[in-house]
């Protein structure tokens, strides 16, 4: 079974630029999560999708971050404009359905460096 | 909101020794406590979890204990091997809710051959 795929793996941009990350969850997984992991800390949830709808985005900085999962499969996370403090690893995770299982499967992450 | 404290931040052991990582949580409503292992350049991988109706759970060399009264839970790894070297995260969440896990800051485990 293929795992969660993310791209790119690494990205370096200058502050005020825009960047987008892509995630392809495990086939059949209805729930998709985006996390931000700052160096030396645990992952922090940014947004949770159930199919193509948002379950929780209370911790997403909506002035600069946006995410979508239009067809209920792949998802993109965008930052515009980026700030220095956005430097982190962005992890995507998926689960079969958050209403029936807690087990999440994480992708390898995208390491973002903002200069 | 939930707050999870994890200790120690770094743990160095000799191969074959046991390793213990401890976490405390603040929200008594939390009822699901997963542990993740994160190797360099990879995403976290679930290694074991425990629910609030259970006090202990074991899976080969890994065990987790939960004390609901004291609001703390621990990960125990016996007979450590070099391949156990990684960063370990504990988390607390409300199962059946929207499941927003709160993670600890991680423990870097180093197992010396």
- Report how far residue B50's alpha carbon sits from residue B33's, in angstroms, rounded to the nearest whole number: 5
pLDDT in tens, B64-93: 999 999 999 999 999 999 999 999 999 998
Average of pLDDT values for B43-56? 91
Nearest to B43 among A48, A99, A108 (CB): A108
pLDDT tier, A72 (very low <50, low <70, confident <90, very high otherwise): confident
Block residue for tokens 């700030």: A83
Q: Which residues of B make CB contacts under 8 Å with A?
A: 4, 6, 32, 34, 36, 41-46, 49, 89, 91, 93, 95-96, 98-106
Picking from A65, A75, A64, A66, the residue whose alpha carbon sits closest to that of residue A5 is A75
- Report how far residue A93's alpha carbon sits from residue A30's, in angstroms, rounded to the nearest whole number: 11
Query: Collapsing DSSP states into helix, strand and coil, what is residue A68?
Result: strand
Could you tell me the two tokens for A25?
């969850």
Other CB atoms closer than 10 Å to residue A21's CB: what's the count?
22
pLDDT tier, B97 (very low <50, low <70, confident <90, very high otherwise): low
Predicted confidence at residue A54, as pLDDT, reads: 93
Picking from B52, B45, B39, B56, the residue whose alpha carbon sits closest to that of residue B108 is B39
Q: Residue B103: pLDDT above 80?
A: yes
Mean pLDDT of chain B: 93
Give how far Cα B61 sits from Cα of B25, B65, B77, B81, Å.
24, 13, 6, 10
Predicted confidence at residue B41, as pLDDT, reads: 87
- A residues 71-110 lying closer than 8 A (beta carbon) to B: 91, 93, 98-99, 102-109
Picking from A24, A8, A5, A1, the residue whose alpha carbon sits closest to that of residue A71 is A24
B73, B52 in Cβ contact below 8 A?
no
Predicted confidence at residue B95, as pLDDT, reads: 72
Q: Residue A83: pLDDT above 70?
A: yes
Q: Residue A101: pLDDT above 80?
A: no
Q: Residue A66: pLDDT above 90?
A: yes
Nearest to A42 among B49, B100, B103 (CB): B103
Predicted confidence at residue B100, as pLDDT, reads: 76
Predicted confidence at residue B63, as pLDDT, reads: 97
B86, B37 in Cβ contact below 8 A?
yes
Give how far Cα B77 sits from Cα of A26, A37, B64, B91, B101, Å.
29, 25, 9, 17, 23
Mean pLDDT of chain A: 93
- Report how far residue B25's alpha carbon sits from residue B20's, in angstroms, rounded to the nearest whole number: 17
Number of A/B CB contacts below 8 angstroms equals 54
Q: Do B106 and A40 touch (CB under 8 A)?
A: yes
pLDDT in tens, A4-56: 999 999 999 999 999 999 999 999 999 999 999 999 899 999 999 999 899 98
Q: Do A102 and B45 touch (CB under 8 A)?
A: no
Predicted confidence at residue B94, as pLDDT, reads: 82
pLDDT tier, B96 (very low <50, low <70, confident <90, very high otherwise): low
B107, B44 in Cβ contact below 8 A?
no
Q: Do B103 and A107 touch (CB under 8 A)?
A: no
Nearest to A106 among B41, B45, B93 (CB): B45
- Report how far residue B69's alpha carbon sits from residue B76's, in angstroms, rounded to the nearest whole number: 20
Predicted confidence at residue B99, as pLDDT, reads: 64
pLDDT tier, B98 (very low <50, low <70, confident <90, very high otherwise): low
């Amino acid at each position: 079974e293929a795992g969660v795929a993310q791209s790119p793996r690494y990205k370096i941009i200058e502050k005020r630029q825009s960047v987008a990350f892509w995630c392809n969850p495990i086939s059949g997984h209805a729930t998709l999560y985006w996390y931000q992991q700052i160096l030396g800390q645990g992952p922090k949830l940014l947004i949770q999708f159930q199919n193509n709808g948002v379950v929780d985005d209370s911790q997403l900085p909506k002035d600069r971050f946006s995410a979508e999962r239009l067809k209920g499969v792949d998802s993109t996370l965008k930052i515009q404009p980026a700030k220095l403090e956005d430097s982190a690893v962005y992890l995507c995770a998926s689960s079969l359905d958050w209403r029936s299982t807690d087990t999440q499967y994480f992708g390898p992450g995208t390491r973002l460096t903002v200069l | 909101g939930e707050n999870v404290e994890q200790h120690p931040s770094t743990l160095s052991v000799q191969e074959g020794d046991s390793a213990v990582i401890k976490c405390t949580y603040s929200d008594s409503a939390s009822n699901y406590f997963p542990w993740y292992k994160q190797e360099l350049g990879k995403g976290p991988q679930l290694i074991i979890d425990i629910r609030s109706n259970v006090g202990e759970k074991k899976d080969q060399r890994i065990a987790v204990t939960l004390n609901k009264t004291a609001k703390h839970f621990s990960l125990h790894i016996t007979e450590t091997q070099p391949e156990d070297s990684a960063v370990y995260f504990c988390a607390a969440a409300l199962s059946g809710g929207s499941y927003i896990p709160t993670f600890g800051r991680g423990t870097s485990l180093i197992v010396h051959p």
